[in-house]
Structure 1
Amino acid sequence: MNETKNRLIKAGRYMLSNRLAWGTSGNISARLDKDRMLITASGTFMGELAEDDFVEFDIVAGTAKGTRKASKETPMHTGIYKTREDAGAILHSSPFYTTLFSCSNEPIYSEMFIETMYYLENIAYVDYCHPGTKELGEAIAEQTSYANVIMMRNHGVVVFDDNVDEAMMRLETLEMACRMILQAKASGVQLVRIPDQVVRSFLEESKYKPRKAMKGRLPE
């Protein structure tokens, strides 16, 4: 468990120092085993996490160990872990450019460069729900069959993957893509998107990374 805590502490510091999170606006977790996760406690600062800032939480029973209160976004995390057995780590935050896109109808393109083709292949969206509610947790869980990146309208984003490092790559790639798209529009730069057939070839034949197996594909 100490190793998992150390990874999450390092992740929180990285997120804050690289403007992927701010203040107490985010929460992160990692799976300990099939039924348990470690999640940040309520009110913790992402860049100042310590070993006692985490709560061990039973995903199935919905109970916590210890005296600290788990993050109010715990329903979001448990919903993902219950639905996706391959999920090993979850990051929820509100980076500036990503959140800007979550507050707009601007599309986020994946056909730009290697990392966007892989990490942003599927981006799901859920309508605004109040933070920490059962409704938000259920809405997120419903989309986990189709994507590892879920944009929450007027809120931020939640990403998940096999481990903390891969989840961080998804988050950082998303924020970079949003920043590129916005700055290109503002500067009058025309972004050239990679053709669909090349994207398919990359995902299916390049062996960059194993493509995530989804239960279904997002509607066009």
Structure 2
Amino acid sequence: MMRREETVSELRAAGKYMMDNGLAWGNAGNISARLSDGSFLITATGTFLGELGEDDFAECFLVEGGPASAETGAGVNPSPGKKPSKEVPMHRAIYESRPDIGAVLHASPFYSTLFACATEGIPSNLFVETMYYLERIERIGYYHPGSAELGDAVGKKARLSNVLLLDNHGVLVYDVNIKEARMALQTLEMACRMIIESRSAGISLNALPKTMERDFLERSGYRTRRKWEA
């Protein structure tokens, strides 16, 4: 795991990148990264992702069977200091469900959120990056932001994918580190934009056959193939 200073620096850079590239807006969204065994850093409540300071983060600890908290969710004890984002429950659910995950990005990019507010799915077999980063996308029904119910729902789907569409809310992307999570988020937004703009222009997208997608994933060699739960 990275040291706290390195993690803060990467999170600040990720927040600015998201804001500069249309992946976040206003003070919507929150991001986190696993710091060490049993803890993670998350943006503090009310922070602006494009202008994160060194002290705009709160450290939260995963406490197995710990006491419930209305502000941070069951089993999470924040460290003294700034108040963590109210979305701690869903970040915590991912870190608990997926020991391989090192970073979680939650945002409401324009095109991706359009799909989160619709009912249709997002194909993963459009181009190389979608095959690689969007192999599995799951959908979560609407629950109020920051609620324990949302955290529970995310926990149930976290092992099935690395991208979650949150109905009428936004998206949740998580991966082994901040860089990979950021790339997955940008790939998601690019794919959604391509689909929507191609329809407006009357252009039909030619998706690859699923057999070709599976072959790519088996042979690409970018990293070890993920083993998903059924």
Q: TM-score range by the shorter chain?
A: over 0.9
- Normalising by the residue count of structure 2, what TM-score does the alignment of the two structures yield? 0.92
Once the two structures are superposed, residues 47-85 of structure 1 have per-residue CA deviations (whole angstroms, 9 ceiling, x without a partner) of 010011000110224111122110000001001000000
State the match for 1:5 in structure 2. Answer: 8
Q: How does 1:94-173 map to 2 (within 5 A)?
A: 94-173=108-187
- Normalising by the residue count of structure 1, what TM-score does the alignment of the two structures yield? 0.96
What is the rounded CA distance, in whole Å, between the counterparts of 1:44 and 1:110 in structure 2? 32
Q: How does 1:28-67 map to 2 (within 5 A)?
A: 28-60=31-63, 61=66, 62-67=76-81
2:202 is aligned with 1:185: no
State the match for 2:69 in structure 1. Answer: none
Q: What's the C-alpha RMSD, in Å, of the aligned pairs? A: 0.9
State the match for 1:200 in structure 2. Answer: 214
Counterpart pick for 1:77 among 91, 97, 118: 91
Give, in angstroms, the shift of residue 105 of structure 1: 1.5
What is the rounded CA distance, in whole Å, between the counterparts of 2:100 and 2:81 in structure 1? 29
The residue type paired with residue 86 of structure 2 is K
What is the rounded CA distance, in whole Å, between the counterparts of 1:206 and 1:2 in structure 2? 34
What is the rounded CA distance, in whole Å, between the counterparts of 1:124 and 1:34 in structure 2? 27
What is the rounded CA distance, in whole Å, between the counterparts of 2:204 and 2:229 in structure 1? 34
Q: What residue ranges of structure 2 are gaps of 5+ in the alignment?
A: 67-75
Counterpart pick for 2:28 among 22, 25, 32: 25
What is the rounded CA distance, in whole Å, between the counterparts of 2:61 and 2:181 in structure 1? 21
Dislocated runs of 4+, deviation >4 Å? none
Task: Report the secondary structure of 2:198's partner residue.
Answer: helix
Q: What residue ranges of structure 1 are gaps of 5+ in the alignment?
A: none
CA contact (8 A) 1:93 1:156 kept: yes
CA contact (8 A) 1:118 1:211 kept: no
Matched pairs, number: 216
Distance 1:33 1:53, change over 3 A: same
* Stretch moving more, 18-27 or 205-214: 205-214
What is the rounded CA distance, in whole Å, between the counterparts of 1:126 and 1:183 in structure 2? 25
The residue type paired with residue 11 of structure 1 is A
Once the two structures are superposed, residues 165-218 of structure 1 have per-residue CA deviations (whole angstroms, 9 ceiling, x without a partner) of 0000110000000000001111110100101111111011221332222222xx
Percent sequence identity is 51
The residue type paired with residue 167 of structure 1 is A
The residue type paired with residue 140 of structure 1 is V
The residue type paired with residue 143 of structure 2 is C
* Stretch moving more, 199-208 or 177-186: 199-208
